[in-house]
Amino acid sequence: MTGGSSGIGAATAIALSSAGASVVVAGTDDDRTAAVAARTGGRALLADLREAGAAARLAAEVGPLDVLVNNAGVGWSGEFAEMPRERIPELVALDLTAAMLLTREVLPGMAERGRGHVVNVGSIAGAAGGRGEAVYAACKAGLAGFTEALRQEHAGGPIDFSLIVPGPVDTPFFERRGTPYERGFPRPVNPGRVAVAVRDAIVERRAEVVVPAWLGVAMRVRGAAPELYRPLADRFG
C-alpha cells in the first residue's frame, strides 16, 4: 500500500487489515506511517517514490506479496501556463511512473506464485478532465490506460487488475496541492468509501469501481456523447 500514511491510503490499510490481510504501509512521513501500521498490525516502510530506484528498493523490502495498491499521489492546481516547470516531472513521477515501476517489480513474482492483484487508485479527473488540473488529469488518464492494458494482457490468467476512480475525497490532498476544494458539487466523499471500493474490487475481482457510482454517468456521457459533455464541463468545470 503506497501513500498509506493518511487519507485514502490509511483508510484502505485499515479496511484490508480488518478483512484479514497482512498490510505493509509505505509512506513518506515517519510518524504517520508508523501510526497507521500500528493500527493495522502491519509493517511501516518509508519510501519517496519520486526518487530514482525507490520502487525497486521498496519492492525488495516488502518481499513477496499478493496485492499491490498503488495509491501514492500528489496534485497541483492552477493554470497550466503558470505551473512551475519542476512540478511537472514531480507529478508524473509520483502519480504515474511510480505505479508502473512498482507493478513491474512485483508482476514476475505474482506470475511465479500463480496469484496476485494490482489495484491502481485513479481519479475522475483522468476520465473527465478538470479545469486547473491538466498534468494531474493526464497522469490519471495514463494510469487508467495502463491498468486496462495490463488487464487485457493478463486476461484469463491468475493476476487481476483494478482501477478505482474516486471523485473528490475529503483528505489532505487538496491542502497539500495548495488550493482547497471549493466546488459545491460534487461534494467530497469520506476516504472510507474509497477504501471499501478497493477492498470490494479485490474480493470481487472487479476491473473498475467508480466512487461514488453515479460519477460513472459523466464518464459514459463523455465517451458516448462528447458534444453534450463538453459544454457542461466548460460551464461547471
Q: Which residues are catalytic?
A: 136
Is the CB of residue 18 less than 8 Å from the CB of residue 67? no
Instruction: Please give the DSSP secondary-structure letter assigned to residue 184.
Output: S
Query: Which grid coordinates belong to 189?
Result: 466523499
The β-bridge partners of 165 are 210
Computed on alpha carbons and rounded to an integer, the radius of gyration of the chain in Å comes to 17
| Listed residue (1, 17, 3) closest to 173, CA to CA | 3
| Listed residue (106, 214, 94, 232) closest to 160, CA to CA | 106
| Listed residue (167, 51, 66) closest to 98, CA to CA | 51
Is the CB of residue 228 less than 8 Å from the CB of residue 219? no
Is the CB of residue 8 less than 8 Å from the CB of residue 71? yes
How many Å apart are CA 44 and CA 35, to the nearest integer? 9
Count of Cβ atoms closer than 10 Å to residue 226 Cβ: 10
How many Å apart are CA 76 and CA 173, to the nearest integer? 10
How many Å apart are CA 37 and CA 30, to the nearest integer? 11
Place of cell 498509506: 4
